[in-house]
Structure 1
């Protein structure tokens, strides 16, 4: 995969960083906020399954409307914009990958359904 020109997304939990790749070339790297200890982000190799320009997210202890630039990659796990905090670089989410709004918009336009998502420690 990485040897081609294929687009893929790397999420580095240890460094709270997301990198958008085209083959071996990083095209954008941003600081993100992933899952806190009690609601960790799932590790593994996935692919973008569905995309929503805006959606509602609910779960134990949260109900957030108009979550922008949402890309689900594994069940309820998604990469999405976060307007309700500015704590990027710190794991504070319920398992999703929170991205600053301008970066989330760019990523949403750049990645297609089927784009690989690799999440690692």
Structure 2
């Protein structure tokens, strides 16, 4: 997907930076999608109308017809540190909103965007006295979203940096990520 956007950017650069350049047979292309400049300087306002659809670029890269769906993540997990909440969106629609606990005093929960890279039905923290981390979804270095037995602390900062969820909610999220596959899930942690 990133490659498709990069190629789309290349198409934009070629079209904007060199509108008067003559197209040659050695101009890069993606199958039937030409990367040749397509606009003269006086027609630059028509740029948006001449770009191939992103799905066509993805299909030309060999991603197949399934790429014709939206290129964004299928599942978005948004953690809002300031409100201590998590919002889960599937295909852009909110399906869950839960209380969480992020880093307590002296610890940090990293902010940014990630794709989960590892999942465990049960994991034990090597760093914090073998503490149980049920339904762990690791998203950045050693940070994970996981269940906690400390449900009375949810809605307040209390963790060593991970994102804690009610055990029932962690199980639901784990199943959802497993169903869609981690590669189409994005975790967003916002301050």
Output the TM-score relative to the length of structure 2: 0.58
Q: When the two structures are aligned, how many residues end up with a matched partner?
A: 118
Name the counterpart of 2:186.
Answer: 116
Name the counterpart of 2:90.
Answer: 22
* Max Rg structure: 2
Would you say the 8 A contact 1:3–1:23 is kept in 2? no
Unaligned runs of 5+ in 1: none
Output the TM-score relative to the length of structure 1: 0.89
Equivalent in 35, 48, 71 of residue 116 of structure 2? 48
**Partner SS for 1:104:** helix
Distance 1:40 1:24, change over 3 A: same
CA–CA separation in structure 2 for the residues paired with 1:71 and 1:18: 14
Structure with higher strand content:
1
Question: Which stretch has the larger CA shift, 62-71 or 89-98?
Answer: 62-71
**Partner SS for 2:182:** coil
Distance 1:23 1:4, change over 3 A: farther
Unaligned runs of 5+ in 2: 1-69
- Residue 47 of structure 1: how far off its partner (Å): 1.0
Which runs of at least 4 in structure 1 moved beyond 6 Å after TM superposition? Answer: none
Name the counterpart of 1:99.
Answer: 165
Question: Which stretch has the larger CA shift, 106-115 or 86-95?
Answer: 106-115
Would you say the 8 A contact 1:35–1:41 is kept in 2? yes
Structure with higher helix content:
2
Would you say the 8 A contact 1:17–1:30 is kept in 2? yes
